Structure 1
Amino acid sequence: MASAPTRDIGHLDSNYGTWYGDLQEQIQDLTWPLSARTYALMRTDPQLTAVLSAYTLPIRRATWAVDPAGCRDEVVQLVADDLGLPILGVDPEPGPARRRGVRWADHLRLALLSLTFGFMPFERRYDIVGGQARLVNLGERMPHTIGQIQLAADETVQSITQNLAAVRPIPANRLVWYVHDREAANWTGRSLLRPAYGAWLLKHEVWRVHATSIRRFGMGVPSVAAPPGATPGQVAEAQRLASAMRVGDRAGVGLPDGFRLAITGMTGSVPDAMGFIRYLDQQMSRQALAGLMDLGDTSNGSRALGDSFLDLFLLSLQSIADEIADTATTGQTGMPGIVTDLVDLNFGPDEPAPRIVVSDVGSRQEVTAEALEQLMRSGALAPDPALEAYVREAWRLPERAEPVRAPAPQPPDPEPAPAREGQELAASRPGPEPVRAAAEPDLDAVQEAWQAALDTVLEAWPAIAEDWRTQLAAQIAAAVDDGDVHALTQLTIDSTEAAELLAVAMLELAETSAEQMSAEAAAQGVRVEPPPIEEGHLEAVAVAVAALLAAGLAGAAAAAALRLAVPGAAGAAVAVEVAAILAALSLRAVRDQVGGALSTAQAAGRIAVLRDAPAARYLASEQLDRSTCQPCRAIDGTVFDDLDAAEKAYGNGAYVSCLGGVRCRGQVIAIWDRR
């Protein structure tokens, strides 16, 4: 077998060493670094400004998120937190406003300048917080500030040097490099405006000529004729009178006897300057596939033509957005992406990294009321609660006063379908015939009980949080005054009171859930008394959750104290500032963890009743999820083989494969056949 090639013979370009320009570019003003100034002038043209806005604004408005892609929750959360992006399928609502660190919307706006200048580099900066490298800045390095691009032997970027003598070269491993239409070693790319250069240059020349012609000939040319036999002095006077005429509201002229005034306009045909300018504008939009911008200014056109233009344009936008997302995730050759570098620094190069993804930019058509009506009329769609919820959310309509219930699942066929490949949980989907409404469980009451328990805990939480901050402040003040930095890593919190609060709420909810499950059975003709709740497991979960929340707050306090404890700082002052930082933290983590613990208690109460009840059909229901991830959509409606299989999937109050983790509100419902 022939040996595999391990070394290059050819090369990308002949630019090895100091990069000096695109060898194929023949216009000096479009060769970097002069191109940065030229494109800066071009983007102020009204037509090109509209073209760039048509490209960038839909991409900036699109839905950007971090796709877990099967990665560990800890890794995904770190990336999402540092970039200020939601997690796909987990964060349906926008999070709190970011006051510091990277703002993705701002970074995306600047990254899209690569369309204007051809490339756009950024320099990343980290802070070490709690032993982790946290991304705090992506500083733009504007193309016009870069004096030199140094290439490595393989003609990838090795470093850049800015036009400031005091600034040392920035190595490639610190750069995020967005480039549009790169070819070979041309790391400055190709601007979206490059094909419009000729039209832009001619247009501005025609502008100047047209403005001059209007100014010179717009009101005609005055002439004064001297009387027959005029003397040279009279002819000179006629010339003076004609030259002195000015246009104005009070303009007038007085002439000597025998003199005659005439204002003569242009005769014959003249070039159509405005038509030529419109032609040049159309060429500038056409080169960017933005022909739909000119449909109102052309002699022909139709709605079908406009739709075709729009489809092609949206596909081009999606392609550019995907390039931005891919660069932000994995970077360019020799320059790591934002995500991969962040994961490598904190978890090592072998840790799988999530991806930044973008949707709604040409990937799907806008859903209109007309489109929905046609789809339902043709039978391609049927009205259901999920569709109604989507429509209400998409068009910001109010929720129903009485939530619509999903049709209850049906008895399976006599021979159930085999389990899906790779799915350990059984077995078949429900049949097509609806069951009696009396068998439908009241999941609204289940959600209300859970929400009431959560509200009770959160109402009492401020007092616990204040006590925790007080405990931490005393330890921080002592450590700073003693100059013992190591002591800041040993901060502890007594979480006993929080554990007791949570345990009481969990036990009460478990008992309520058992009663609700018993009522669901009774509604189907099955009588079963709620059994006593096993308290030991729920109390252990409460202790663990309280300890996790306390440890998280202690870690945040330690990180803030390490940053503020500069030499000579007073311990009390540092402690006060750290307490203020902690007080400003969002309660989202508390809500998620407490909500997850309450879901565990709710599941414990329901399953305890099912274990004492006659055998039933056990189904997965994701009706209570506000936003359902793909695994939960797949399990929704599945009929389990038995209660053990159902408990393996939902025993802790959430579907085990849910991407939302503790936020999952999936339930096990039971259907008893009455024959």
Structure 2
Amino acid sequence: MAKTTQTNSRVDFSEVGSTGLKRWGGVISEEFLRELHGKQGAKVYQEMRDNDPIIGAIMFAIEMLMRQAVWHVEPANENSRADQEAAEFVESCLDDMSATWQDTMTEILTFLPFGWSYHEIVYKRRGGNVKDPARKSKYNDGLIGWRKLPIRSQDTLYQWILDEEDGGIRAMEQQPPPDYRNRIIPIEKALLFRTRSNKGNPEGRSILRNAYRPWYFKRRMEEIEGIGVERNLAGLPVLTPPEKMDIWDKNDPDMVHLLHTAERLVQNIRRDQMEGIVKPNGWELELLSASGGSGSSRGGANTSEIINRYEQRMAMTVLADFILLGHEKVGSFALSSSKTNLFGMAIGAWLDSIAEVFNRYAIPRLFELNPKFHVEDYPKLAHSDIETPDLAELGAFIKDMTGVGVLVPGPKLEAHIRQAADLPEEDDMGEYWEMARDQRMNPLQQSSERNEEPDEEDPEVQAAAKRYLGREE
């Protein structure tokens, strides 16, 4: 015992090193591109999300798939009544917020394009159907629950308040409209969702970060293409003055004025409902046809191929390039299936990260405010799978496994199959199904008795079936 005490006294519990996070005060400087720093970077990611059709389709697919996941609360011990009551309490809190769980999830999912999302935890004492929003609830048990989990928008960030010793996150300071007054939300009263954690960076990393470069070039290529199409339709205007008129004479004010007028004329030629030209006598106007154009390689680059290449790279960065399969009349079903499986795995990992934040921070804090519950461990928030299994493959697998006796049909297996196939729960079939199931034979017994004549059904089972169907004589 003395040796143990002496050994423990020599342990150094201090933290010596540092994560190396680049910051100036509360401003993070990990991003090497200046245009992606702070609020400016949030505006760029917002433009990518809201203004690009490919990225918009990717984000829509991600959001819809993640929102279709079914969330539930699992007790720490299914056999403990106290743990079951604790799980039911957490589920009641999720269903008792002023905003729906789906709306809350939509706000949380903004951590994907921005890299992070910060949500303040607003509590309430559940006081039944009253007017006071701080007490209004479906329940009148006096317990403390979640009133709402509102987002503190990424574009309102002023600075992070970090611990000077270990660099830990202490709070977020924001300047939100309409009054732009500084507000500090401590981390103990908030939930921080991040796509990843590197050097303890509270801003995570946007899933669109690697798509920025192809998006940047694609946007400019589309602008160039638009200008080229417009010029191709209007033609290249060439305005020729009369022979003896020297419009390049900078010493003659009249010639300088004519030169500026001619330049404005050729620059403003457009093909629209207001098109038309008024030129002085002796001047000649010619429209030269431009070579090449959108989707053409004559005399220039094929802009369609370039734009398609950038769009494919943008989708590849988030494993979502399967949305482009078929648009170019290429891609097999097997390739699409493998790509969607990878995409589904990525989405499942993001859902796991959301559940982990709730299980590590939100739920323990909730039970600390409600000492009524005496549990050894806290319930866990979990989600269902977002992918539906191939029922043909599942059926063949179960058939093969039951045929060799590895699986034996039972209530749990049947419940799993019903859930996988989105079938309704089993009805109470009464004593008929209970007696019929008692007569089911093990698959190994069936294989040894295949040549035997089947026995007639038990008269008691027949009578139970008639009573269930209301045909009792």
User: In the alignment, is the contact (CA less than 8 A) between 1:16 and 1:155 conserved in 2?
Assistant: no
TM normalised by structure 1 equals 0.51
Q: Distance in 1 between matches of 2:200 and 2:215?
A: 28
Give the C-alpha shift of residue 273 in structure 1: 1.9
Q: Name the amino acid aligned to 1:80.
A: E
Matched, 1:354 2:379: yes
Q: Name the amino acid aligned to 2:185.
A: I
Matched, 1:199 2:214: yes
Matched, 1:136 2:142: no
Structure 2 equivalent of residue 409 of structure 1: 438
Segment of structure 1 superposing worse, 254-263 or 284-293: 254-263
SS in 2 for 1:301: coil
User: In the alignment, is the contact (CA less than 8 A) between 1:83 and 1:104 conserved in 2?
Assistant: yes
Structure 2 equivalent of residue 339 of structure 1: 363
1:247-262 superposed matches below 5 A: 247=271
Give the C-alpha shift of residue 373 in structure 1: 6.5
Q: Give 1:264's match in structure 2, choosing from 270, 281, 288.
A: 288
Give the C-alpha shift of residue 292 in structure 1: 0.4
Q: Give 1:115's match in structure 2, choosing from 112, 115, 121.
A: 112
Q: Distance in 2 between matches of 1:434 and 1:67?
A: 45
User: In the alignment, is the contact (CA less than 8 A) between 2:194 and 2:203 conserved in 1?
Assistant: yes
1:259-338 superposed matches below 5 A: 263-267=287-291, 269-298=299-328, 300-330=330-360, 336=361, 338=362
Structure 1 equivalent of residue 162 of structure 2: 151
Give the C-alpha shift of residue 33 in structure 1: 3.8
> Structure 1 389/27 Cα, relative in aligned 2: closer, same or farther at 3 Å?
closer
> Structure 1 232/180 Cα, relative in aligned 2: closer, same or farther at 3 Å?
same
Q: Name the amino acid aligned to 2:319.
A: L
Structure 2 equivalent of residue 162 of structure 1: 174
Q: Give 1:208's match in structure 2, choosing from 190, 215, 223.
A: 223
Give the C-alpha shift of residue 19 in structure 1: 2.8
Structure 1 equivalent of residue 76 of structure 2: 69
Q: Name the amino acid aligned to 2:49.
A: R
User: In the alignment, is the contact (CA less than 8 A) between 2:110 and 2:117 conserved in 1?
Assistant: yes
Q: Give 1:37's match in structure 2, choosing from 28, 38, 43.
A: 43
> Structure 1 181/225 Cα, relative in aligned 2: closer, same or farther at 3 Å?
same
Q: Distance in 1 between matches of 2:122 and 2:468?
A: 47
User: In the alignment, is the contact (CA less than 8 A) between 2:234 and 2:269 conserved in 1?
Assistant: no
Q: Name the amino acid aligned to 2:339.
A: F
Structure 2 equivalent of residue 549 of structure 1: none
Structure 2 equivalent of residue 480 of structure 1: none
Q: Distance in 1 between matches of 2:366 and 2:84?
A: 15
SS in 2 for 1:106: helix
Q: Distance in 2 between matches of 1:349 and 1:28?
A: 52
Structure 2 equivalent of residue 9 of structure 1: 16
Query: What percentage of residue pairs aligned between the two structures are identical?
Result: 21
Structure 2 equivalent of residue 394 of structure 1: 422
Q: Distance in 1 between matches of 2:332 and 2:278?
A: 58
1:555-574 superposed matches below 5 A: none
Give the structure, 1 or 2, with the largest relative contact order (CA under 8 Å, sep 6 or more). 2
**1:216-273 CA-partner distances (Å, limit 9, x unpaired):** 22342355889xxx7547999xx89x95976468979999999998643224511222
Matched residues, number: 402
User: In the alignment, is the contact (CA less than 8 A) between 2:231 and 2:290 conserved in 1?
Assistant: no
> Structure 1 49/344 Cα, relative in aligned 2: closer, same or farther at 3 Å?
same
User: In the alignment, is the contact (CA less than 8 A) between 1:17 and 1:151 conserved in 2?
Assistant: no
> Structure 1 27/403 Cα, relative in aligned 2: closer, same or farther at 3 Å?
farther
Q: Give 2:389's match in structure 1, choosing from 336, 361, 365.
A: 365
Cα RMSD for the two superposed structures: 4.6
User: In the alignment, is the contact (CA less than 8 A) between 1:121 and 1:142 conserved in 2?
Assistant: yes
Q: Distance in 2 between matches of 1:281 and 1:146?
A: 31
User: In the alignment, is the contact (CA less than 8 A) between 2:23 and 2:29 conserved in 1?
Assistant: no
SS in 1 for 2:149: strand
Q: Distance in 2 between matches of 1:312 and 1:371?
A: 19
**1:376-424 CA-partner distances (Å, limit 9, x unpaired):** 77676899994899389727899999999463314999xxxxxxxxxxx
1:545-560 superposed matches below 5 A: none
> Structure 1 14/119 Cα, relative in aligned 2: closer, same or farther at 3 Å?
closer
User: In the alignment, is the contact (CA less than 8 A) between 1:149 and 1:157 conserved in 2?
Assistant: yes
| Higher helix fraction (1 or 2) | 1
Segment of structure 1 superposing worse, 246-255 or 313-322: 246-255
Structure 2 equivalent of residue 581 of structure 1: none
Q: Distance in 1 between matches of 2:210 and 2:104?
A: 27
1:492-531 superposed matches below 5 A: none
Structure 2 equivalent of residue 608 of structure 1: none
Q: Name the amino acid aligned to 2:370.
A: N
Q: Distance in 2 between matches of 1:270 and 1:155?
A: 54
1:405-484 superposed matches below 5 A: 405=433, 407-410=436-439, 436-440=457-461, 442=464
Q: Distance in 2 between matches of 1:259 and 1:30?
A: 51
User: In the alignment, is the contact (CA less than 8 A) between 2:234 and 2:270 conserved in 1?
Assistant: no
Q: Name the amino acid aligned to 1:110.
A: E
Give the C-alpha shift of residue 11 in structure 1: 2.3
Structure 2 equivalent of residue 174 of structure 1: 189
> Structure 1 254/9 Cα, relative in aligned 2: closer, same or farther at 3 Å?
closer
Structure 1 equivalent of residue 124 of structure 2: 127
SS in 2 for 1:43: helix
Q: Distance in 1 between matches of 2:333 and 2:351?
A: 26
Instruction: In structure 2, list runs of 5 or more residues that go unmatched.
Output: 127-140, 248-257, 292-297, 443-453
Instruction: In structure 1, list runs of 5 or more residues that go unmatched.
Output: 85-97, 331-335, 414-432, 449-518, 524-675
User: In the alignment, is the contact (CA less than 8 A) between 2:121 and 2:190 conserved in 1?
Assistant: yes
Q: Name the amino acid aligned to 1:340.
A: P
